[in-house]
Each structure stands twice: as structure tokens, then as C-alpha cells.
Amino acid sequence: MLIDSHAHLDSLEELPAVLKRAREAGVEKIIAISSSLSSSADTLEIARTNENIYAAVGIHPHNASTTNEEVIRELESLIEEPKVVAVGETGLDYFYMNSEKEVQKKSLIEHINLGKKHGLPIVIHVRDADKDLAEILKTEDISSKTGVIHCFTGDYAQAKVYLDLGFYISFSGIVTFKKSEENRDAAKNIPEDRILVETDSPYLAPVPHRGKPNEPSYVRHVAETVAEVRGVVLEELAEITRANTERLFNLSV
């Protein structure tokens, strides 16, 4: 049984057909991720109406300028729903800079506080901002309930920084790309109890689907690559990542 630990289902077309293909590929659970307040409401509705889909609610760093007290209150009302298993995605993105750095940092801290208050893990996006992210995570001390660095693109040395802070590391289709040797090395060396797989659908489709819209069924290709570099069969890697995802997100609801 595979779990796609990060998919933007509210951004996918023909969702019933997408979910059917996921089930046929052995993907039995999906963590559906939000990027805005409206996305959070839509994502939660998808989770409510599909037994094996769970929701994370939050504001993507691209949209951090929309985070304010009212938005946080709205997110908090959604968090009370039993199908909500995480806060996010949140984080820092200094590549696109759709929101100013200080605005992104403030939004991230608001999300961290929500996670700590409600005992939920945080789904973190980071691009070109690892130093600032690590400093915030250390300062805010969320060791009692950490989260996941999703779509991890770095090497093992960078992964170790987040591992030492208690975070899980999730690999996406990037790990299948020809030039991703350092990322595959990280996937090889992550401790067995901290590794997840994801698609980040509809983005970053893995080989052999590069350039096409991504979808949860393709997480099988990510898992196959991670299994290969770790020297295990797909079934073993699927079991490892399933157990880790269920533990992190407390998938008992």
C-alpha cells in the first residue's frame, strides 16, 4: 500500500478519474494539501467526501501576504474538523519571492503556532531559504510535534539539518530526474523511520511522465526510484513510507 503524502487535489482536473487511477496503482491514502484559505476549504471538502483522503490546511508562502488574523481564525475553525491532519503547506520561498521575506516568516510562525496549539504536524515548503527556515524552526521549538520537509530537493547534509530538528523528509518526482544524483544520495541515506514519498500533484511529474500534469498514481514511480537507491524491493519501501506517513499524520481518523 502506497500513500501519496502531498498532493494538491483541488488543482487536479477530472478528480474522480484521477482517484480511480491512484487506487489501481496501489495508492490507498492521500494527504491533500492546501495553498490558500479558499484552497483549504476546497481541500477539506474533498477529504470529507472521500474516505481515504486527509487534509492539511494552510497558506503557501507564495500567498503569505494574505495571512492575517482573520485568515488564521478561519484556518483554526477548519482545523477542528476531524479529517484535518496537518497545517500547511507553509514555509519560505526566496526563489520566486511572491511575498516579502519578513511577510513569509511571519506567516510561517503563525502556522507553527497553530500546529503547536492543536497538536498537528507542519507541512513545510522551502526553496533557497534553508538557513532562515532552520533558524526559525530552532527558535520556535516544535520538537514535540514536528512535521515534514516536503518535496525535498537537497543533499544529505541539508537533510541532516532537518532530521536533527525531528522532521521527516519527503521525496517527489525530482528524485527520478537524471541530474538529481545528490537528491538520490539523500534518499539512500535518510533513516528508515523518517522517509516519505509524494507527488506534489499536479506539479513535478516523475520520469517517465515529465512535462505532463502529475497525479497521485505516479507516486509509484517515486517509490520505485527510492526503493532502488536504498536497495530494497518496492513492497518494502511502500510499507516503510506507509507506516511513517500514518505515524506522522496520526491517520486514525
Query: CA 232, 234, 236: angle at the middle one, nearest 5?
Result: 65
- Are the CB atoms for 67 and 102 separated by under 8 Å? no
pTM for the whole structure: 0.97
- Report, in this order, helix, strand and coil percent for the chain, each rounded to 5: 50, 20, 30
Look at residue 44 in the predicted model and tell me its pLDDT. 98
Which residues of the chain carry a pLDDT beneath 50? 253
Fold of 2-249: TIM Barrel (3.20.20)
Look at residue 224 in the predicted model and tell me its pLDDT. 98
Look at residue 32 in the predicted model and tell me its pLDDT. 98
- Are the CB atoms for 194 and 235 separated by under 8 Å? no
Look at residue 205 in the predicted model and tell me its pLDDT. 98
Three-class secondary structure of residue 93 per DSSP: strand
* Domain boundary assignment for the chain: 2-249
Look at residue 144 in the predicted model and tell me its pLDDT. 74
- Are the CB atoms for 218 and 171 separated by under 8 Å? no
Look at residue 77 in the predicted model and tell me its pLDDT. 97
Number of helices followed by number of strands (H, E) in the chain: 9, 8
Look at residue 141 in the predicted model and tell me its pLDDT. 84
Look at residue 36 in the predicted model and tell me its pLDDT. 98
Sign of CA dihedral 245, 47, 89, 216: positive
Which residues neighbour 202 within 8 Å (Cβ) at sequence distance 6 or greater? 8, 11, 12, 213, 214, 215
Percentage of residues in the chain with pLDDT exceeding 90?
97
Look at residue 38 in the predicted model and tell me its pLDDT. 98
